[in-house]
Amino acid sequence: MTPAPPTTDQPIVALSGIVKHFASGTLALDGLDLKIAPGEFVSLLGPSGCGKSTALRLIAGLAAPTSGTVEVSHHQGEARSAKAIGFVFQEPTLMPWTRVRENVRLPLTLTRAPATESDARVEAALARVGLTEFADSYPRELSGGMKMRVSLARALVTDPDILLMDEPFAALDEITRFRLNNDLLALWRNLKKTVIFVTHSIDEALLIGNRILVLSPHPGQVKAELNAGHLGFADLGTQPFELLSRRIHELLFADTVETALVNEVHRGA
Ligand SMILES: Nc1ncnc2c1ncn2[C@@H]1O[C@H](COP(=O)(O)OP(=O)(O)OP(=O)(O)O)[C@@H](O)[C@H]1O
Ligand SMILES: [Mg+2]
């Protein structure tokens, strides 16, 4: 069943008028505005180089905007911290010299969490992604999909309110990707996190995002926003799915930036 659409009246993440200029002279983002409600699963879709990773880094506080404001709040009311945001990076960044368990523990070590609490959290995060049996393996002993699960467990281990995922499944085969998409959706339903999920794949964005923000080509702005909360795996290949997919395709290839709320398919249809 489709949950009621969350409201962005009190966003957990709000970017307004974001401009990001790099010292190299590249203008990565030029007037990016977005608001994300607590508990939303938002897909960010856009061509390569449009500033998706840059936007996630700004939200995580790993980089600062040239101008504009980044506001991030948390259920616990804490200041933004490594603990409150989980980040699954675009590049796999597991430590090859240490076991899965220690890879997952890293954010807790960095935040100096007490050892007994850390042990329980690490085991729980491994169980959530189905890797309990591989806790003592080294990353080189795992498949690509399993390595991605380790990254996901590491992002979940601090029990963050916000999960930022930068094309996490892009390098995986379609079968593994669909399986992980499904698992991620189940996790999201259970854990009630806010997820911001970057992808190049229109199908993936439609299947797992409740809302899709389509970004314009370099420099990035939000070009259109679509609701897709009613679509799931059972809709793949159906007419409503194909209609929305075609519309996104057109938007990605259109020249002009039009801020449109596209709702061709009724929620719950
Ligand atoms: N640290 C940096 N220094 C200079 N330029 C950068 C830096 N990081 C990103 N850029 C530039 O900013 C633009 C946006 O990069 P970004 O990585 O955010 O794009 P993206 O949408 O994530 O692309 P992709 O889909 O290929 O991952 C690109 O032109 C890139 O070259
Ligand atoms: Mg990127």
Q: Which band of pLDDT confidence, cut at 50, 70 and 90, is reported for residue 6?
A: low
CA distance 99 to 141: 10
pLDDT for residue 78 is more than 70 = no
CA distance 239 to 246: 10
pLDDT for residue 261 is more than 70 = no
CA distance 160 to 145: 22
pLDDT for residue 244 is more than 80 = yes
- Give the position of tokens 């729980």: 124
The burial of 5, by beta-carbon neighbours within 10 Å (0-12 exposed, 13-18 middle, 19 or more buried), is given as: middle
User: Among 18, 26, 48, 200, which is best to mutate for testing ligand 1, by the most ligand atoms less than 8 A from CB?
Assistant: 26
Contact assessment for residue 27 and residue 58, using Cβ atoms and an 8 Å cutoff: no
Q: In terms of pTM, does the model score above 0.85?
A: yes
Structure tokens at 18: 């974001």
Structure tokens at 246: 């075609």
Domains of the chain, by residue range, sit at 1-80+196-263
Report whether CATH 1.10.10.10 matches the domain 1-80+196-263.
Answer: no
Who surrounds ion ligand 2 at CB < 5 A?
53, 90
The protein residue with its alpha carbon nearest to ligand 1, atom 1, reads 22
The residue ranges of DSSP E strands in the chain, in sequence order, are 13-21, 27-36, 41-45, 67-72, 85-88, 162-166, 194-199, 211-215, 222-227, 260-262
Q: Which ligand is nearest to the CA of 47?
A: 1
Whole-angstrom Cα Rg for the chain = 18
Using a 6 Å CB cutoff, which residues line ligand 1? 22, 24, 26, 28, 46, 48-54, 90, 218
pLDDT for residue 104 is more than 90 = yes
Contact assessment for residue 44 and residue 209, using Cβ atoms and an 8 Å cutoff: no
Q: What is the mean pLDDT of residues 35-42?
A: 93
CA distance 199 to 213: 11
Q: What is the mean pLDDT of residues 50-66?
A: 93
